[in-house]
Each structure stands twice: as structure tokens, then as C-alpha cells.
Amino acid sequence: SAVISQKPSRDICQRGTSLTIQCQVDSQVTMMFWYRQQPGQSLTLIATANQGSEATYESGFVIDKFPISRPNLTFSTLTVSNMSPEDSSIYLCSVFGRGMNTEAFFGQGTRLTVV
């Protein structure tokens, strides 16, 4: 299993500002995943954070809006930039267990409200 610490757990931010979410894993992992869960919706993958290379973004998500850092194999950050109320959501980081076809483990999530 993997233990993931994510912070902040929640925040209320003014529109136009940026928030950086941190994710720390208790073991080294090649890839870390960032998801968004809008109210009443399922999880949507934002990007995959690879150590030592650029993050890979899914359709509809761009680096300028969601820059990601991955300085080492246990840590990643996601920044939500120039926020608008539409960015109000839960943001989750996730890793897979060792090997292929294993379950995903999630951080506690960051509940973001943009006012």
C-alpha cells in the first residue's frame, strides 16, 4: 500500500489568485496522478506527473493553468492558476501500488472554493 499526505485539505481563495497543492508519498513512485472531482461528478484525470520530465496533460487541461512540479520520486505539486469560481472542486493526487494492474491510492483531497 501507499500512504499519501496531501495539503492543504481545504482552502477558500479569491478569484485571480493561485493555489499550490502538495502531495507527499511514503515510498518512491514513478508516476503521480492529479485528478479533479467537480461537485457531483466523478474523477477526471488532469495530468500525470513524471519525475525528471514534463507532466503529461489530458485533453482539456493545459500547463499554463495547472503547472505541475515533480522534483523527486516522493513529492509533487499541482498549482491551480488564475482561479475562477469554475475551478471550485476537489483535487486529488494518486499513485499506483507496485507493478502493473494494481489499485490506485488517493490522498485525502483538497477541497477548493473560489469566491
Partner 1 sequence: QKEVEQNSGPLSVPEGAIASLNCTYSDRGSQSFFWYRQYSGKSPELIMFIYSNGDKEDGRFTAQLNKASQYVSLLIRDSQPSDSATYLCAVNMEQTGANNLFFGTGTRLTVIP
Binding site for partner 1 (CB under 8 A): 31, 33, 41-45, 48, 92, 94, 96, 100-104, 106-109, 111
Residue with Cβ nearer partner 1 (14 or 42): 42
CB 91 within 8 A of CB 77: no
My answer on whether omega of the bond before 67 falls inside 30° of 0, hence cis, is: no
Residue pointed to by grid coordinates 495539503: 7
Gap between the Cα atoms of 75 and 108, Å rounded: 15
CB 66 within 8 A of CB 91: no
Residue with Cβ nearer partner 1 (14 or 52): 52
Residue with Cβ nearer partner 1 (81 or 108): 108
Output the smallest distance, CB 77 to partner 1, in A.
18
Output the smallest distance, CB 93 to partner 1, in A.
10
